[in-house]
Structure 1
Amino acid sequence: MDLIFFSGLINLFFWLVIFFLTLLYMRMPIYHPFFIYLIYHFIGYVLRPFFIYSQNGSFLWNRIGVYPENMDILILTVISNIALIFVFFGFIAGAGGFKKLEIPQSFYIKVKKPIYFSITLIILVVLGLYANYVSMKGAGLDSVLAYQTSVDSSGGARLVGTSGYITAWAEFLPPICILLFMIPKIRKLAILLISAYVIMRFFAGAQRLAFVIVIAGVFFYYLISKKQRYPSIFFVIFLIFFAYIFDIIGGDRLAMRKLVLGETTITEILQNHKDTRGDNALTSDVVEYDVAASTLKVIHNYNEYSYGTQYLRILIWPIPRQIWQDKPVYTSIVNLNEYGDFRYLTTGIYADSYMAFSYISLTIIMFILGYFFSRMYNVLLHSDSVVMILFYWIVLIFTKTILRDGGVTFIYFWVFSLIPVLLLSYLGSLKVVRLK
């Protein structure tokens, strides 16, 4: 356990160096994807080792049944810091050097064809609400989601009796909420829709990231419109409170349903959260260090490298099961569930990219990621395309998904989030108006 503590210290040192270089010298704003990356790395690879040390082990290691040894912890420490450094190198290269970053001009979106825009908007919102209805109807207090899933031998969950293309319509609503907030003439409508959407996701309990990305997307736009790089202390306190609510729902996905139906009280919800998650101080959902350590033990003990086969998933994912009934959920030649209970767990981008071709794939992917973050920020600074601006927001709000899932899962969210943006932009003839 002592090595885990020193692992946290080493990770903290490298993180602090890069954090202060980017914030103090480059003045990187909070709405830069690299900033979100740094916060996620801090929680998942800096804080987590200290909590594991303080609790004399990880609750996930007990669940998985794979207990990392000192060599696995040492290799994970090396891998996480190499990843951090190469993302930083890519970030610097994409930014055009080590220099102070500009902040974008304030902007809003103008609708030139309001009738076509309104009709398209209504259709897309109805589809999004229908997808949410399908996922929640009749669930009650028995399950989080109404539809059934089956889990194959690789740990992949597939829908039973419901098409994934229908449930994917639910991804229309977050970008629509953010887009509407960027249009001054209908901002009140946007606030109403956002409020209703957040309440609905609270009640659903599942897919908590959905309401987080809407709030975050609107918050980032607010900062840009005020030409602020960082939020005030008031907003920081609000974000911490919001993270606490997020963690409460993570501990009991049915908490809000029980509260509305009178099956529990706020006091009981808070006590249950304290008993089940209190010791992890809001890190229970960012356990990348824990899973990565177990994954590395499998990789090195059994020489289990995927050689990039996990990325082939993007080729078979779009094929409907009506055409290919036995379509696999995952395509990797490595099945971690043969060595432990990795069901429903994500390995994280570090372990996932390392699993492909060791340090070669790790450094290349991390550099590309950092470079991509900077180039997307350049889009925010200079593009006048509504689609590209909203794509920046999609990348920004789904940065956590890239880092948490690794592989190609994030592409699913990108594609289905872009569909309403493309339709509304084209049919409504939307235009970006930058304020001087």
Structure 2
Amino acid sequence: MIEMALIAQVLVLVLVAVVFLSTGSASMFHPLTLYLIFHALVFVMRPILVHTQHFDDVWLFMGFWPDEQQFVMTLVVSSVALVAFSAACAWAGLARPDWTPNGEPAPAFVFDRVDIVAFLTTAALLAPLAIYSAIQRQGGASFDGTGDVQMERDPLTGQPIYTNTTGYIAEAHSMGLPLTLGLIWICRFHPLSFLPFAGFVAYRAYLGWGRWAIIMGILGLVLLLLYRTRTRWFRLWHVLAAVPVMGLFTLLGNNRDAFRDVLAGDAPPSVLLRFNGGSGGGRAIDALAGQDLANFDFLSYILWVVPKQSATYTWFTQYLQLFTEPIPRLLWPGKPVGAPVKWVDLNDYGVFYNLTTSLPGDGWMSAGWIGMIVTMVAVGLILGRLHRWFWVSGFRNRYAVLFYCAFLPLCLQWFRDGNITIVKFGFFSLLPILLWIGLTRVLRAWGILDDDPLGPVVAPPNLAGRHNLAGQPNLAGREPS
């Protein structure tokens, strides 16, 4: 029975992908492309490996083992979620990627004095806080009352909370990602502009935690490169370059302190090649047995708990955290951990500490089938409309391109975590970009720096070109803001 369900799971994915490609709107810039990749990894590949390779580590951690019916039910729920999200996202985002609408090429981007001054001002305001946060976090978080960043686990939920600082400071180092991406963008991909971005990735690798920032940062950079070359899909070298990135992701998942130990001389460099987290004698495929791609396992647990064990749903109350989360705990010591109203606590029936519900699981907790479909459709409509906006007008705007390419990778975190995490991650990932945009608006509205002795900065040759499609010299002026 499970084997037939796994085959059906693959066929549903293939069918949805074929229909999506037939719409003509498919590209790496479409949110549905990312969800198909996410679904293929965690709801297609993962259950196949769980069933055939006997991945039991996550079941042992949670204290739950699904029977055959529960296993199949999880596959069905994830497939229905895929269809609901895909239908909504494809319909709302129906816009064919076209670099030359109406026969006119997209304008060549130029960055004038206002853009540069606004970006430097943004960096001057936020970079010191990001660097200070990075220095504080270089030793990791301590749970024993020592160190620059101290945390403790809430006894009821098991979630870690800051005790001597606030998340606004402790997580501010995440702003390094949009700042370094923005520098590459405004410097028109000058080779030296990549150095701060490389430094950010190296810092994240050293830190060990926050590995998703590496994935999202590199994906955002690749999207900017695709835009620069007017390309809809990954090139072969992009795919090949992703192999060591995924290896790094897996390595840090199994050993968070790998780079730290090597640099400190506490471990040999060969430890960086042990992706299975063991002594080297285990199977290579066991590197995939951990929690990184285990949303199928987590969803199975959720379906077992809600509503049979919990006798109720959350009724979307988890989103009330949007109103309490922004308040620093230092100002509100009694602030609830997580959602202020808890109809369902997954830890009451097993161990679910620091695990993620995924978007389908979060929807199921809200109201079963109805909650799951409503959640998937709502998110699909939001992301679809954003995609349509990008190809209707956003891709012609130099600010909008950076914003979209920085936001789109965050969707992977949204798909994986569910709940309000997109807001929390989006705050640090988009704040520098939004501040840069706001400052340029203010400077232009006030007429500051209108007299630009520097003149516009010429776009890179392979972005603008010396001639337009009609063969005439490209005399495009500044792209309207």
**Offset at residue 111 of structure 1 (A):** 4.0
1:274–1:257 Cα change, 3 Å: closer
1:77–1:273 Cα change, 3 Å: closer
Task: Return the alpha-carbon distance in structure 2 between the equivalents of residues 118 and 108 of structure 1.
Answer: 18
Task: Return the alpha-carbon distance in structure 1 between the equivalents of residues 354 and 27 of structure 2.
Answer: 33
- My pick for the range that moved more, 57-66 or 373-382, is 373-382
User: Of the candidates 151, 156, 162, which is equivalent to residue 159 of structure 1?
Assistant: 162
- Which structure 1 segments of 5+ residues have no match? none
1:60 — aligned with what?
Answer: 58
1:394 and 2:396 aligned: no
What aligned pairs does 1:209-224 form with structure 2 within 5 A after superposition? Answer: 209-224=212-227
Task: Return the alpha-carbon distance in structure 2 between the equivalents of residues 358 and 272 of structure 1.
Answer: 37
Task: Return the alpha-carbon distance in structure 1 between the equivalents of residues 15 and 188 of structure 2.
Answer: 44
- My pick for the range that moved more, 327-336 or 423-432, is 423-432
Task: Return the alpha-carbon distance in structure 2 between the equivalents of residues 230 and 313 of structure 1.
Answer: 37
1:355 — aligned with what?
Answer: 365
**Offset at residue 185 of structure 1 (A):** 5.3
User: Of the candidates 412, 418, 426, which is equivalent to residue 424 of structure 2?
Assistant: 412
2:6 — aligned with what?
Answer: 8
1:80 and 2:83 aligned: no
1:318–1:109 Cα change, 3 Å: farther
**Any idea what the Cα deviations from partners look like across 1:94-152, whole Å, max 9, x if unmatched?**
134xx854358486462432344323313312211111111124779x99x96232222
Q: Which amino acid aligns with 1:102?
A: D
**Any idea what the Cα deviations from partners look like across 1:385-428, whole Å, max 9, x if unmatched?**
55543432233111111111111111111223232112222324
1:336 — aligned with what?
Answer: 346
- Indicate the SS of the match to 1:110: coil
Task: Return the alpha-carbon distance in structure 2 between the equivalents of residues 420 and 323 of structure 1.
Answer: 25
Q: Do the aligned partners of 1:348 and 1:404 also contact (CA within 8 Å) in 2?
A: yes
Q: Do the aligned partners of 1:44 and 1:283 also contact (CA within 8 Å) in 2?
A: no
Task: Return the alpha-carbon distance in structure 2 between the equivalents of residues 229 and 387 of structure 1.
Answer: 19
1:112 — aligned with what?
Answer: 113
Q: How many residues are paired up?
A: 430
**Offset at residue 244 of structure 1 (A):** 1.1
- Indicate the SS of the match to 1:273: coil
2:323 — aligned with what?
Answer: 315
What aligned pairs does 1:219-258 form with structure 2 within 5 A after superposition? Answer: 219-258=222-261
**Offset at residue 186 of structure 1 (A):** 7.2
1:102 — aligned with what?
Answer: 98
- Indicate the SS of the match to 1:158: strand
Structure 1 runs of 4+ aligned residues shifted over 6 Å read 430-434
1:149 and 2:156 aligned: no
1:421 and 2:433 aligned: yes
Q: Which amino acid aligns with 1:321?
A: R
- Which structure 2 segments of 5+ residues have no match? 101-105, 445-455, 469-481
**Offset at residue 312 of structure 1 (A):** 0.8
1:350–1:369 Cα change, 3 Å: same
Q: Which amino acid aligns with 1:244?
A: G
| Larger relative contact order, structure 1 or 2 (CA cutoff 8 Å, min sep 6) | 1
Identity %: 25
1:262 — aligned with what?
Answer: 265
User: Higher Cα Rg: structure 1 or 2?
Assistant: 2
1:51–1:135 Cα change, 3 Å: same
- Greater percentage in helix: 1
**Offset at residue 280 of structure 1 (A):** 4.1
**Offset at residue 12 of structure 1 (A):** 1.0
- Indicate the SS of the match to 1:147: coil
- My pick for the range that moved more, 180-189 or 313-322, is 180-189
1:259–1:204 Cα change, 3 Å: same
- My pick for the range that moved more, 40-49 or 26-35, is 26-35
Q: Which amino acid aligns with 1:112?
A: R
Task: Return the alpha-carbon distance in structure 1 between the equivalents of residues 230 and 425 of structure 2.
Answer: 29
Task: Return the alpha-carbon distance in structure 2 between the equivalents of residues 307 and 38 of structure 1.
Answer: 27
**Any idea what the Cα deviations from partners look like across 1:4-50, whole Å, max 9, x if unmatched?**
x4333222110011112223552611232211111011000000111
Q: Do the aligned partners of 2:152 and 2:163 also contact (CA within 8 Å) in 1?
A: yes
- Indicate the SS of the match to 2:64: coil
**Offset at residue 324 of structure 1 (A):** 1.9
**Offset at residue 207 of structure 1 (A):** 0.5
2:184 — aligned with what?
Answer: 181
2:88 — aligned with what?
Answer: 90
Q: Do the aligned partners of 1:202 and 1:249 also contact (CA within 8 Å) in 2?
A: yes
1:116–1:258 Cα change, 3 Å: same
TM-score, normalized by length of structure 1?
0.90
Q: Do the aligned partners of 2:356 and 2:416 also contact (CA within 8 Å) in 1?
A: yes
- Indicate the SS of the match to 1:334: coil
2:477 — aligned with what?
Answer: none
Q: Do the aligned partners of 1:169 and 1:416 also contact (CA within 8 Å) in 2?
A: yes
1:35 — aligned with what?
Answer: 33
Q: Do the aligned partners of 1:128 and 1:173 also contact (CA within 8 Å) in 2?
A: yes
**Offset at residue 305 of structure 1 (A):** 1.2
Task: Return the alpha-carbon distance in structure 2 between the equivalents of residues 47 and 411 of structure 1.
Answer: 28
Task: Return the alpha-carbon distance in structure 1 between the equivalents of residues 99 and 250 of structure 2.
Answer: 32
Task: Return the alpha-carbon distance in structure 1 between the equivalents of residues 139 and 107 of structure 2.
Answer: 41
Q: Do the aligned partners of 1:174 and 1:213 also contact (CA within 8 Å) in 2?
A: no
Q: Do the aligned partners of 2:89 and 2:383 also contact (CA within 8 Å) in 1?
A: yes
